[in-house]
Amino acid sequence: MFIPVNEPCLEGNEIKYLTECIQTGWISSEGPYVTQFEQLFAQRMGRKYGIAVSNGSVALDAAVVALGLEKGDEVIMPAFTIISCAAAIVRAGAVPVLVDSEPDTWNMDVSQIEAKITPRTRAIMVVHIYGLPVDMDPVLELAHKYGLKVIEDAAEMHGQTYKGRPCGSLGDISTFSFYPNKHITTGEGGMILTDDEQLAERCRSLRNLCFQPGRRFVHEELGWNFRLTNLQAAMGVAQLERLDEFVARKREIGSRYTALLSGQKSLQIPMESTPYSRNIYWVFGLVLGPEVPFDAMEAMKRLGEAGVGTRPFFWCMHEQPVFQKMGLFVGEHYPVAENMARRGFYVPSGLGLNLDLIPEICSKVKLILSQS
Ligand SMILES: *Cc1c(COP(=O)(O)O)cnc(C)c1O
């Protein structure tokens, strides 16, 4: 039997609400679940406005354009994250400027931000990685001091808090994803949150092709079709009802893995907590220690052969061929992020995981480590 890296949990009101969509014929983005989901989600994260979009990547695209970032503007962001973050900046004509990661939390090292600020810097894009939030207060202080906007990518942080404040409430504009491996899912989906009415209006317009209130089909600006369907929003409402339960389950998964793997000297496992938060384990990541004679790809191959699904960690932005071809990040190095990208991977940690399989997964991890 193969243990997949992620299985979602869909046994709440999903079927009931989806059936209602089909019975009433409301399947497009015009249906009532979309606004309901936006309002409930924004409320849960302590924000005024929610704008539902078709995924977490386009949420970033819309956020960057809504903030008015332009050609040559610089945005400071982590080297270690998903391509969506840098892609949104580059597509808007702006320039991503990278900082390295902290070796223990795997988040961007906020102490490196100030040295990267120039007269062209317009924003800081923070990305909370794998389950622990970025240390936000120093970021918010810098943003205030230098007049920068903060874009918060909270795609892995549904239900997480930073010093008691909800993740997703900490940026001028914050984004989420509802891909099936996130804490709540709509299949594909995303959300933009803000307290700024004008930014919210901009995002709504960008999501909907920048249709104008006057004559439909006459456009002053180019937008996109980034709309979420009523079917997806119906799932979102059902999933949101269970968010606390899902976060508790993720923490249970994390604590079971921690109990069984914390003795492994050659393996770095996620920190359980920091002074500002407790891990919610979007994924349970492992980083091979320097004494292990093989890298993450080899470990994943061996675990796959033993019936355990895994995924590699992100690959650094400065090492992306697509950005190198554009002449970005020439000669730059971020050693902590580079090491994580080469030696990190994650084990099955989705909400649908049968917890009784965790001891078996851990035995197999220990076995492949012993077979160096
Ligand atoms: C998943 C994820 C995204 C992208 O979301 P999609 O819905 O898959 O487009 C963006 N940022 C981070 C940090 C993510 O984990």
Q: Averaged over 8-18, what is the pLDDT?
A: 97
Q: Averaged over 59-65, what is the pLDDT?
A: 98
Count other C-beta atoms under 10 Å from residue 224's C-beta: 16
Structure tokens at 265: 């000297």
For ligand 1, mutation pick of 6, 58, 82 (most atoms within 8 Å of CB): 82
230 alpha carbon – ligand 1 mean position (Å): 21
pLDDT at 214: 86
Q: Averaged over 33-53, what is the pLDDT?
A: 98
138 alpha carbon – ligand 1 mean position (Å): 24
Cα(136)–Cα(163) distance, rounded to whole angstroms? 9
Cα(232)–Cα(17) distance, rounded to whole angstroms? 10
For 348-360, write each residue's pLDDT tens digit: 999 999 999 999 9
Q: 89 vs 13, 66, 85, 106, 140, CA distance in Å?
A: 37, 12, 7, 22, 20
Cα(52)–Cα(112) distance, rounded to whole angstroms? 33
Secondary structure percentages of the chain, helix, strand, coil, to 5: 40, 20, 45
156 lines ligand 1 (CB under 6 A): yes
Q: Is the dihedral of CA 173, 179, 181, 186 positive or negative?
A: positive
Structure tokens at 190: 């995303």
Q: Averaged over 331-338, what is the pLDDT?
A: 98
The position carrying tokens 């919610």 is: 280
Task: Tell which atom from ligand 1 comes closest to the C-alpha of 57.
Answer: 9
190 lines ligand 1 (CB under 6 A): yes
For 274-311, write each residue's pLDDT tens digit: 999 999 999 999 999 999 999 999 999 999 999 999 99
Residue 145 a catalytic site member = no
Say if residue 372's pLDDT is above 90.
no
Cα(242)–Cα(218) distance, rounded to whole angstroms? 42
The two domains 14-240 and 244-369 share their CATH topology (first three levels equal):
no
For residues 150 and 67, is the Cβ–Cβ distance under 8 A? no
pLDDT at 1: 85
pLDDT at 342: 98
39 alpha carbon – ligand 1 mean position (Å): 21
Comparing CA positions, the residue from 203, 148, 141, 205 lying closest to residue 172 is 148
Task: Tell which atom from ligand 1 comes closest to the C-alpha of 188.
Answer: 7
Q: Averaged over 249-265, what is the pLDDT?
A: 97
Structure tokens at 134: 């970025």
- Greater model confidence, 23 or 216: 23
Which H or E element spans position 63?
helix 56-66
- Kindly name the residue from 48, 71, 149, 182 that is annotated as catalytic: 182
Mean pLDDT, the chain, rounded, equals 97
152 lines ligand 1 (CB under 6 A): no
Domain 244-369: assigned CATH number? 3.90.1150.10
Distance of CA 154 to the CA centre of its chain: 5
pLDDT band, residue 96 (cuts 50/70/90)? very high
Residue nearest to atom 13 of ligand 1 (CA): 155
The pTM (predicted TM-score) of the whole model is 0.98
Count other C-beta atoms under 10 Å from residue 337's C-beta: 30
pLDDT at 70: 86
Say if residue 213's pLDDT is above 90.
no
pLDDT at 92: 96
Domain boundaries, the chain: 14-240, 244-369
Domain 14-240: assigned CATH number? 3.40.640.10
Which H or E element spans position 14?
helix 14-24
Cα(182)–Cα(6) distance, rounded to whole angstroms? 10
125: which strand partners?
151
Task: Tell which atom from ligand 1 comes closest to the C-alpha of 60.
Answer: 10
For residues 177 and 85, is the Cβ–Cβ distance under 8 A? no
181 alpha carbon – ligand 1 mean position (Å): 10
155 lines ligand 1 (CB under 6 A): yes
For 124-139, write each residue's pLDDT tens digit: 999 999 999 999 999 9
77 alpha carbon – ligand 1 mean position (Å): 15
